[in-house]
Amino acid sequence: MDTYRYCIIGNSAAAVNACEAIRSLDEEGSMAIFGEEDYRCYSRPLISYLVAGVIDSRGMYYRSASFYRRMGADFHRGVRVEALDLRRRTLVTEKGESYRWNRLLLATGFKPFIPPVEGLEAVDYLTFVSWDDAKRLLRLTARPVRALVMGAGLIGMKAAEALHARKAEVTVVEKMERVLPMALDARASAMVAERCRSRGIGIVTGESVVRVEPRGGHRGRAVLEGGAELDFDLLVVAVGVRPRSELAEEGGIRCSGGILVDEHLRTSHEGVFAAGDTAKAVDLVRGEPAVNALWPVAALQGKYAGLNMAGKEATYPGSNSMNAVEFFGLPVLSAGVVNPPDPSYEVIDRVGEDGDYRKVVLRNGVLTGMLVAGNIERAGILTSLIQERANVRRVKNFLLEEGFGHIHFPRAVRQERIVEVVAGLSKAAEPGGVGGGKASRAAGKGRKG
């Protein structure tokens, strides 16, 4: 039985960044990466752009074909891990192969949630979360089709936009009262919906699909709870995702709506870490553990998990939910709390003469959320203030100004922030510091044991 110092289950943002972080501290430790899909690491957020023809297949990759060799990692391509034996520190693949590990990272990502809709299982529907999904959509839209998208979250709306680019006749059905209900507020949602409708996409909100009548293959008819019927040639189910934590749960690792981890991304079992869309880690705004299924969050968690796996006590700084997306030329960016749950939050918003929309949310003077639609310039400083949990009470009236910046802070605060930035840069430049370290030469390439 082969033994590795590091085993990584997963092959996306968290896994790749963990691999690189490990190599920044340990150039020789044997490593294996188990990827369930038959691809090297690619960017899932670009799936819609591939379908729309904005990029080609080469643009999907974000590391070179030599990545695994350079990292000195054995890449088990297209291999599903079926079980973990935590006591023996072994994993078993679907092929029946067993491998021992000293430290293990669970970066298993998410899976699409499939709602219990009558008749759905009899239709050859698609999801929109993988490269294989994109390939199927490209094949099925070689000629104009009527496409129905169930769900108007980020995945569903990007699927609709991509299908529209493929000349499909698209209708989106969302059970909530508006599109992108979790990422945006009512005004920004209306802006996105109007932009999509103006391009010919049909949007039905406040209704669910209660029954699907198959018509053979991908074709069928959807019956809405209000009685309306929609015929389709292609059905995309995009009503949400769930953390893939089954492997951890079955192995005996503590889970609750995701794999529970501490400030070092450690799970409840010694030597086992988790990162990415399956990990339930500290959320800065909520002040409690949460799953933030976002690419930048997965990358950051993977980095810190890798550093800790390699022996560095690196405290994960936490993250918050953030979405940056564009629909038919309308850019939208949101972060933190955008739909305050109670009156304890203070909301300041502004609509510009050109229709641009800006909003910030505060609680006890601390910036906890922001949303901009249209002109998103200068939004970066707002997201950084949320990440820092900055008290902006004294400058709150300037937050939505187009020229808002550090100049609006009192002089003492400006000096303090400059000192913090310089100190952070100096620390990062230290050998072995977070983000520092030697370039990996991976002298132990391909070795096991």
Q: Residue 345 is part of a domain; what is its CATH number?
A: 3.30.390.30
- Domain hosting 214: range is 120-239
pLDDT for the residue numbered 384? 87
Residue closest to 213 by CA, chosen among 225, 203, 222: 222
- pLDDT score of 435 more than 60: no
Is residue 170 very low, low, confident or very high in pLDDT (cuts 50, 70, 90)? Answer: very high
| For the chain, percent of residues with pLDDT exceeding 90 | 79
The reply to whether 185 and 44 lie within a common domain is no
Question: Alpha-carbon distance 209 to 116, whole Å?
Answer: 10
Q: pLDDT band at 379, cuts 50/70/90?
A: confident
pLDDT interval class at 184 (50, 70, 90): very high
Q: Is residue 222 domain-shared with residue 290, that is, in the same domain?
A: no
pTM here is: 0.87
Distance in angstroms between the alpha carbons of the first and the last residue of the chain: 10
**Cβ atoms of 224 and 207 closer than 8 Å:** yes
- The answer to whether the CB of 224 falls within 8 A of the CB of 214 is no
Give mean pLDDT, residues 131-151: 97
Average pLDDT, the chain: 90
Q: Is residue 341 located within the same domain as residue 403?
A: yes
Closest CA to 234 of 168, 177, 289: 168
| Contact between 54 and 338 (Cβ < 8 Å) | no
Residues whose CB falls within 8 Å of the CB of residue 411, separated by 6 or more in sequence, listed in order: none
Phi-psi region of 78 (alpha: psi -120 to 50; beta: other; left: phi over 0): left
Give the whole-angstrom CA distance, residue 27 versus residue 438: 9
In a domain, 366, yes or no: yes
- Report the range of poorest mean pLDDT among 7-11, 143-147, 337-341, 390-394: 390-394
**Least confident among 162-166, 293-297, 408-412:** 408-412
Q: In this structure, are 341 and 360 located in the same domain?
A: yes
Could you tell me if 405 and 354 lie in one domain? yes
pLDDT at 21 over 80: yes
Q: Cα torsion for 382, 282, 421, 386, to the nearest 10°? A: 10
CATH number at residue 154: 3.50.50.60
Are residues 235 and 125 both part of a single domain?
yes
Q: Give the sheet arrangement for strand 146-150, strand by strand.
A: 202-205, 169-174, 146-150, 234-237
Determine the pLDDT at residue 249. Answer: 96
Q: How confident is the model at residue 434 (pLDDT cuts 50, 70, 90)?
A: very low
Confidence of residue 1 (pLDDT cuts 50, 70, 90): confident
User: Into how many domains does the chain fold?
Assistant: 3
Q: What is the pLDDT of residue 398?
A: 87
Are residues 229 and 141 part of one domain?
yes
- Residue 448: inside a domain, yes or no? no
pLDDT of residue 223: 98
- Res 420: pLDDT: 44
Question: Are 38 and 79 in a shared domain?
Answer: yes
What is the pLDDT confidence band of residue 405, given thresholds at 50, 70 and 90? low
Asked whether residue 346 carries a pLDDT value surpassing 50, the answer given is yes
Q: How confident is the model at residue 406 (pLDDT cuts 50, 70, 90)?
A: low
**Quick one: 246 and 197 in the same domain?**
no
In a domain? residue 380: yes
Spatial separation of the C-alpha atoms in residues 318 and 297, rounded to whole Å = 9
pLDDT, mean of residues 322-350: 94
Determine the Cα–Cα distance for residues 109 and 185; give it in Å rounded to an integer: 27
Residues 220 and 126 in one domain: yes
Residue 356's Cα: distance from chain center in Å?
A: 26
Residue 389 confidence (pLDDT) above 90: no
pLDDT at 390 over 60: yes
In a domain, 417, yes or no: yes
351 phi, psi to nearest 5 deg: -115, 120
Q: Is the pLDDT confidence value at 8 over 80?
A: yes
SS3 per residue for the chain: CEEEEEEEECCCHHHHHHHHHHHHHCCCCCEEEEECCCCCCECHHHHHHHHHCCCCHHHHECCCCCHHHHHCEEEEECCCEEEEECCCCEEEECCCCEEEEEEEEECCCEEECCCCCECHHHCCCECCCCHHHHHHHHHHCCCCCEEEEECCCHHHHHHHHHHHHCCCEEEEEECCCCCCCCCCCHHHHHHHHHHHHHCCCEEEECCCEEEEEECCCCCEEEEECCCCEEEECEEEECCCEEECCHHHHHHCCCECCCEECCCCCECCCCCEEECCCCEEEEECCCCEEECCCCHHHHHHHHHHHHHHHCCCCCCCCCECCEEEEEECCEEEEEEECCCCCCCCEEEEEEECCCCCEEEEEEECCEEEEEEEECCCCCHHHHHHHHHCCCECHHHHHHCCCCCCCHHHCCHHHHHHHHHHHHHHHHHHHCCCCCCCCCCCCCCCCCCCC
Q: 230 and 304 share a domain?
A: no
Percent of the chain residues past pLDDT 70, beyond the cut: 90
Least confident of 11-20, 118-127, 317-326, 341-350: 317-326
Give me the pLDDT at residue 342, please: 94
Neighbours of 443 (CB within 10 A): 9
Report if residue 358 sits inside a domain.
Answer: yes
pLDDT at position 334, please?
94
For residue range 307-316, list pLDDT tens digits in order: 999 999 999 9
Amino acid 295: pLDDT: 93
pLDDT above 70 for 445:
no
205 and 155 in a single domain? The answer is: yes
User: Averaged over 126-146, what is the pLDDT?
Assistant: 96
Residue where a domain stops, chosen among 206, 224, 239: 239
Amino acid, single-letter form, for residue 4: Y
- Listed range (173-187, 198-212, 366-380) with the worst mean pLDDT: 366-380
Domain boundary among 239, 262, 288: 239
Is residue 137 in a domain? yes
Higher-confidence position of 440 and 222: 222
Report yes or no on 53 lying in a domain. yes
- The domain boundary, picked from 258, 279, 309, lies at 309
Q: Are strands 81-85 and 202-205 parallel, antiparallel or unpaired?
A: unpaired
pLDDT at residue 65, rounded to an integer: 94
The residue count for the chain: 449
Residue 151 maps to a domain: yes
